Amino acid sequence: MVERVKTGIEGLDKALNGGIPAKNLVLVSGGAGTGKSTLCMQYLVNGGKIYKERGLYISTEQSEGELKRQAEQYGWNVLELEEKGLLKIIYIDIIKENHFLERTREAIKNFKPKRLVIDSMSTMSDYMAVTDYSKQSWSVTSIQNTVIPQFFSEKLMSKKILSALISELKNFDATALLTTELPEEGKELSADGLSEFICDGVMVLECLGVGASVFRCLRIRKMRYTNHEKASMVYELTDNGIEFKEKEIKI
């Protein structure tokens, strides 16, 4: 039987046939303000509160204070979870920090989380391209005893960086949510057009306008090692975080 990590969000766990298969790396894709960070924090808060599992939130977008302020809005007692050692928030300032991979690796090794969030994965891989990996954008090849430098295309560089990050993350025992920003009208599933192929799962958050109404929808586009709901599911951002409107979801 597949070991699963429950999000603790009613409706979503059902749509996932019981939860995210353990150790999956899942991309959370969506436009601005669709609720990506809320979903991620809720996953960790529920993990600590309900299942007593350690959660690590690595943020490149909002500071620790900002994330706590948003969590308070939803009535989540982040401080209590931190004191119990069930939650840790680390903010990596993209202006000051040059070694994302090192910082992330250290944090995961020290805290040993069961649940991991990287918010945002696209920011992290973009900056790794110009920091941690900038010196590796070329290699040498030898043709008839002549050494020739080979420069990688931007796409290949991105793939190398993402693959390095993902394979690092796979070495740990965590089940991870990794956010990526999408333009409103695009058909892409990630900011880089590659992560969705490398990651084990993809959940897409969308705002759909129907007449004068706007619906927020979550679609599980891909989830390795499990059956799952394929249709879009309507959710709301409420005072308690993300709530799914449809209680009965058929798979």
Ligand X SMILES: Nc1ncnc2c1ncn2[C@@H]1O[C@H](COP(=O)(O)OP(=O)(O)OP(=O)(O)O)[C@@H](O)[C@H]1O
Residues that bind ligand X (CB under 6 A): 30, 32-38, 61, 73-74, 237-239
What does 219 bind: Mg ion, ligand X, none (CB cut-off 5 to 8 Å by kind)? none
CB of 118 to ligand X, least distance (A): 13
Nearer to ligand X, 97 or 181 (CB): 181
CB of 121 to ligand X, least distance (A): 12
Binder to Mg ion among 37, 104, 122, 175 (CB under 5 A)?
Answer: 37
Dump the DSSP string for 31-43.
Answer: -TTSSHHHHHHHH
Nearer to ligand X, 154 or 239 (CB): 239
CB of 75 to ligand X, least distance (A): 9
Please give the C-alpha separations between residue 190 and each of 70, 153, 158, in angstroms, as whole numbers: 25, 19, 13
Span from 28-36, 106-114, 135-143, 180-188 in contact with Mg ion (CB under 5 A): 28-36
Residue entry with tokens 């409107």: 245
Nearest to 189 by CA among 167, 11, 179, 43: 179
What does 33 bind: ligand X, Mg ion, none (CB cut-off 5 to 8 Å by kind)? ligand X
Span from 32-40, 50-58, 158-166, 239-247 in contact with Mg ion (CB under 5 A): 32-40
Cα of first residue to Cα of last residue in the chain, in angstroms, is 18
Dump the DSSP string for 178-236.
Answer: EEEE--TT---SSSSSSHHHHSSEEEEEEEEEETTEEEEEEEEEEETTS----S-EEEE
Determine the Cα–Cα distance for residues 251 and 242; give it in Å rounded to an integer.
Answer: 21
Q: Is the peptide bond before 120 cis (omega within 30 degrees of 0)?
A: yes
Nearer to ligand X, 139 or 238 (CB): 238
Nearer to Mg ion, 64 or 246 (CB): 64
Decide if 134 contacts 152 (C-beta within 8 A).
no
What does 239 bind: Mg ion, ligand X, none (CB cut-off 5 to 8 Å by kind)? ligand X
What does 60 bind: ligand X, Mg ion, none (CB cut-off 5 to 8 Å by kind)? none
- How is residue 15 written in tokens? 């749509």
- Per DSSP, the three-state class of 16 is coil
Residue type, 238: T
Nearer to Mg ion, 34 or 104 (CB): 34
Nearer to ligand X, 61 or 97 (CB): 61
CB of 63 to ligand X, least distance (A): 13
**Interaction site with Mg ion (CB under 5 A):** 36-37
